[in-house]
Amino acid sequence: MSDSGGYVSTGEFKRDASYIPDRITKDGRRPEHGPVEGDLWPVEPGRYRLVAAKACPWATRAIIVRQLLGLEDVISLGTPGPTHDERSWTFDLDPGGVDPVLGIERIQQAYLARFPDYPKGITVPVVVDVPTGQVVTNDFPWITHDLFFEWREHQRADAPDLWPADLREEMEEVMQRVYTEVNNGVYRCGFAGSQEAYDAAYDRLWTALDWLEDRLSTRRYLMGDAITEADVRLWTTLARFDAVYHGHFKCNRQKLTELPNLWGYARELYAIPAFGDNTDFEQIKKHYYVVHKDLNPTQIVPDGPDPAVWLEPHGRS
């Protein structure tokens, strides 16, 4: 995702949350969960390419879920570099600056191949139809949802149950609060356009983080003893908290390392390959400190914090 949004009259940051609403489902069926406002595409191994920058928290969710479910050989992965301009993310990490599967330099090209007059921001994650080179969807919450529900027959045998039926109702409530108050809450602080808006955003964020700190005092993961989609969604904000949000977004009441339950929980997740392998602190820092020139006009990228702290024993069981 790019940090697209605007301000209401009070100076509060408001995210533009409308995306291409297409879904990829088994046999192109009508999905059992969620709305259908766009086209339906069939599940086909090898047909689609997930394009997701490791710098972006919203995109990293999809990379993690793809690996947790063992879909690496079923859906290929393209990874743009950590910075982008007004046009779009670019494949500057690939030889010649070209995605080796799609043959494009900018993910914008896949958007325009389908929508020549696409009027909105060019965001990641995005799923691209490889045969046509056209964008399918960038609706990030439904991308990870459908990787679990619609691609089941292609998942590895021991894939985790990321959406347990008996916890789903409560999990939806937890994820909604995590999204509005934490995932988006840090942005609401960072891009506040007035002191009043910042103060309100800061209070909302820390109310939610205190709730999470308390919740994790009595359970291993957000929903109990096993990892769920809720943990994936919280993780990407926690991973960026001390490196970016604490200072760059002024979320500085405490560091993550000063919150015992959240810090232990975060280190336990980091030790899981799907989480740790896809967390690149250098890309994360470069993205925020270089792209957000309004917040960091010098574009200087800080050297710290030391990532070695993530390797310390988490002491949780």
Residue 148 has a CB neighbour count (10 Å cut-off) of 20
Q: What sign does the dihedral 136-3-208-159 (CA atoms) show?
A: positive
Assign 3-class secondary structure to 281-294. HHHHHHHHHHHCCC
Strands (DSSP E) found in 118-200: 126-129, 134-137
Select which of 19, 48, 111, 187 is catalytic: 187
Cβ-contact 107, 126 below 8 angstroms: yes
Nearest to 59 by CA among 33, 80, 85, 31: 80
Select which of 19, 48, 56, 111 is catalytic: 56
User: Hey, what amino acid is at 308?
Assistant: A
CA–CA distance, 165 with 46 (Å, rounded to integer)? 29
Q: DSSP 3-state assignment of 143?
A: helix
Beta bridge partners of 128: 49, 135
56 labelled catalytic: yes
Residue 113 has a CB neighbour count (10 Å cut-off) of 17
251 labelled catalytic: no
Q: Which residues are catalytic?
A: 56, 187
